[in-house]
Amino acid sequence: MLRAISATFLTLLLSVCASRAQEPDPGDWTALLAQAKGETVYFHAWGGEPRINAYIGWVGDEVAKRYGITLKQVKVDDTANVVSRVLAEKAAGQTTKGSVDLVWINGENFAAMKARGLLLKDGWADKLPNWKYVDVAGKPTVTKDFTVPTDGLEAPWGMAQLVFMYDTARTSKPPRSMAALLDWARDHPGRFTYPQPPDFHGSTFLKQALYELAPDPARLLSPASDEDFETVTGPLFAYLDKLHPLMWRSGRAFPQNSSAMRQRLADNETDIAFTFNPAGASNAIANGELPDTVRTYVLDGGTIGNTHFVAIPFNATAPAGAMVVADFLMSPEAQARKQDPDVWGDPTVLDVDRLPAADKARFDELDLGIATLDPQDLGETLPEPHPSWIPKLEQAWATRYGIE
């Protein structure tokens, strides 16, 4: 009997050891590449922009040729649904062979996955070969996602910062603060709007205004609480009560997303719009979606910026392949192609000045576009508030303005 128990225990021990031997180790990159070869990586990523989808397609072609990895984009419209899927798999005891290998993520979705133990453990991102080029000092959000430390659980993919757009053919001096915007709206009724929260750009407008209007903006970097929510946000909603009647359609209707807001600008229904991609206006001009007289600007007190990432769920079927894809996404070649406005226009997470000469030249040769501000002209980057503020803000907005 004892011998049978010992044999069973030995079998289980060998099984555990074998399982651990299969875990990818980015510290042994040669072995990891061998492990990744032949894997299929299911990359769950927002699929609402053709240019981004085309870029992911190019990434798939490259990792197939270079590493023998098949990359399949699973197009999603809300990353929260991906979080729910992984959570459901964990609840069902599915600790291996999960349906998600890699996910495009940041903000409240990352915070939720980290808090619930839904991410691959043992921080891997800062052990990838191309991490050495990431601009950790100059772009601190590559290691803090909406104030939440990443702890190597996600790899930075791109940068974003809020910029405002206006048509120089119609507007000579756009407002450069929230207070100035209200004054401008009084002089130009009906010529401004913003997307309806919880659209990402609509919620970002609320956060941007809150930074200027809150009694203590530093409070936004800590978790929201019911005790002082009204005190912190009261000035914001008092401001919106004054702004809405001066907006497009008197604030009784809102664009559903940033594309619809941009279309209002193009159709001469409004004079100001905004985007979270500093090259977004140049992209739209190049595609004939905006006139070539449109330019961008930032607010005097700075604008919100963040980093977006890719992460690997705890039960990914192809974690080795996912790490290889994440590393390629951080490579100077892939980052330079992504920053090209003709491809995507998404700013790099890398410290370009530290790159080898040939890789630095990839960035130096880029034409960022007619309406794109130089990086040094983007001004102060304001950190994203703690993720817990977002659902509270969105619910309070919907309750106050009667839109569910």
Average pLDDT over residues 229-235: 97
Please determine, for residue 313, whether its predicted confidence score (pLDDT) is greater than 90: yes
Widest Cα–Cα separation across the chain: 90
Average pLDDT over residues 131-148: 94
Q: CB-based contacts of 386: which residues, under 8 Å, 6+ apart?
A: 146, 147, 148, 220, 221, 222, 223, 224
Q: What is the pLDDT of residues 15-32, one digit of tens each?
A: 434 344 468 999 999 999
Q: How far is CA 144 from CA 83, 135, 309, in A?
A: 19, 13, 11
pLDDT score at 53 = 96
Ranges of beta strands (E only) in 134-252 are 144-145, 148-149, 154-161, 163-167
Average pLDDT over residues 104-132: 96
Q: Do 15-158+307-370 and 163-305+381-401 fold alike per CATH?
A: yes
Average pLDDT over residues 279-285: 91
Q: How far is CA 254 from CA 5, 67, 80, 199, 229, in A?
A: 68, 46, 23, 11, 25
pTM of the model: 0.84
Residue 145's SS3 state is strand
In this prediction, residue 44 has a pLDDT band, given cuts at 50, 70 and 90, of: very high
pLDDT score at 186 = 98
User: Are 40 and 97 within 8 A, CB to CB?
Assistant: no
d(CA 320, CA 267): 48
Number of separate helices (H) and strands (E) present in the chain? 14, 11
Hey, how many other C-beta atoms are within 10 angstroms of the C-beta on 54? 11
CA angle 274, 51, 99 (to 5 degrees): 105
Hey, how many other C-beta atoms are within 10 angstroms of the C-beta on 121? 12
Average pLDDT over residues 129-144: 95
Cβ-count burial 232-249 (b if 16+ within 10 Å, e if not):
bbeebbebbeebbebbbe
Of the listed ranges 11-20, 56-65, 223-232, 348-357, the one predicted with least confidence: 11-20
15-158+307-370 topology per CATH: D-Maltodextrin-Binding Protein; domain 2 (3.40.190)
CATH 3.40.50.970 fits 163-305+381-401, yes or no: no
Please determine, for residue 136, whether its predicted confidence score (pLDDT) is greater than 80: yes
Average pLDDT over residues 47-75: 96
d(CA 208, CA 282): 23
In this prediction, residue 5 has a pLDDT band, given cuts at 50, 70 and 90, of: very low
Of the listed ranges 90-94, 329-333, 344-348, the one predicted with least confidence: 344-348
User: What is the percent of the chain with per-residue pLDDT over 70, rounded to a whole number?
Assistant: 94
In this prediction, residue 404 has a pLDDT band, given cuts at 50, 70 and 90, of: low
Of the listed ranges 77-81, 125-129, 237-241, the one predicted with least confidence: 77-81
Rounded to the nearest integer, the mean pLDDT of the chain is 93
Query: Dihedral sign, CA of 100, 101, 103, 107?
Result: positive
Tokens coding 96: 């291996």
What residue segments make up the domains of the chain, in order of their start? 15-158+307-370, 163-305+381-401
